[in-house]
Amino acid sequence: MISEADYQRAVELLCAGELVAMPTETVYGLGADAANPAAVARIFAAKGRPADHPLIVHLAGHDAVRHWAEHVPDVAWELMETFWPGPLTLILKKQDWVPDAVTGGQDSIGLRVPGHPVALELLRRFAAAKGARAGIAAPSANRFGRISPTAAAHVAEELGERVALILDGGPCKVGIESTIVDCSRPQPVVLRPGHIAPLHLAAVLGQQPAIASASADTPRVSGSLEAHYAPQTPLRLIARADLADFLAAQHGKRCGILSPNSPPAVTPHDWRQLPAEPLGYAHDLYAALRSLDCPGIDLIVVEAPPADPAWAAIADRLRRAAAGAGQR
């Protein structure tokens, strides 16, 4: 439970250019006053993130959008009406005044009204203090390239003294980062898959949106770098049919297994059973990965998720985790 004093302190810190970690429904964010370049620079320093990676600006409501975005196409308004507050980030052409520190020097900006009551309350109070259109720039509150935090304790582990205050809003409901849709192009393009799936977007857009390929199309989306969302322990994705043989061949290695199935009666390995449906799986995924990413485990083995569109966002994060893992 977050007290009145916590909110007041959070707003004071933000107004003073300090960092505040806040819960959102997706993952925890590392927040700063988005209109204050010095405050935004602190985010990059705390995360160890390259300065040309753009940040998402979180807003209290739709009213603030025009302050940040110069051009807002009709489809963007329709998506906001349907999915905000919620786990959807829209990329729009930015207003000239928006600091380069926030956009990584690009002419577009990422905007989102988050669905978590604590984030919304903080945003409303910050807007009351700073002016109605104030925004909080917030990337996921992890060190660059690491697993996003889905609980306040993860933020403390990742950032420790680097963040002035962590608001503890409990575990994040969704558990993976927001869907990003680029509305600055003639047709909307999904840059990062998430909880809001192409099927949901199609219901608003009238057609399936294009999905950006992770390579040349999205060089500026840090979530599109292969080495992202990664544990320090090596990670392999193994098809269900091959799992038993693969584990049998790992002589002397201590494996940490993520699987929707229950462990065999006797196993020398550490086993985490995750829910067999995608919403529950996403909710638990990062906490499970984090708990296996420890010196006692030599290899994280993840049973490959089903090749079903409902699992696409999870498959995306696991593929990137496998590509970036093992760099300790």
Q: Which residues bind Mg ion (CB under 5 A)?
A: 140
Per rule CB under 6 A, count of chain residues that contact ligand TXA: 28
Phi, psi dihedral angles at 232 (to 5 degrees)? -80, -25
Instruction: Tell me which of 36, 89, 150, 233 binds ligand TXA, using CB under 6 A.
Output: 89
CB nearer to ligand TXA: give 210 or 243.
210
- 10-49 positions binding ligand TXA, by CB under 6 A: 24, 26-27, 29
Least spacing, CB of residue 28 vs ligand TXA, in Å:
7
CB 256 within 8 A of CB 233: yes
CB nearer to ligand TXA: give 87 or 198.
87
Residue in the structure block whose two tokens are 């988050």: 114
Listed in sequence order, the residues at least 6 apart from 276 whose beta carbon sits closer than 8 Å to its beta carbon are: 260, 261
CB 64 within 8 A of CB 215: no
Q: Binds 109, which of ligand TXA, Mg ion, none (CB < 5 to 8 A, cut-off by type)?
A: ligand TXA
CB 301 within 8 A of CB 325: no
Is 177 a binder of ligand TXA (CB under 6 A)? yes
Is 91 a binder of ligand TXA (CB under 6 A)? yes
For the chain, the C-alpha Rg in angstroms (whole number) is 20
CB nearer to Mg ion: give 11 or 214.
214
Least spacing, CB of residue 113 vs Mg ion, in Å:
19
Burial class (CB in 10 A: 0-12, 13-18, 19+), 204: middle
Element (H, E) at 234: none
CA distance 88 to 25: 11
Instruction: Tell me which of 19, 75, 180, 181 binds ligand TXA, using CB under 6 A.
Output: 180
Residues that bind ligand TXA (CB under 6 A): 24, 26-27, 29, 53-56, 89, 91, 103, 106, 108-110, 112, 114, 138-140, 177-178, 180, 191, 220-223
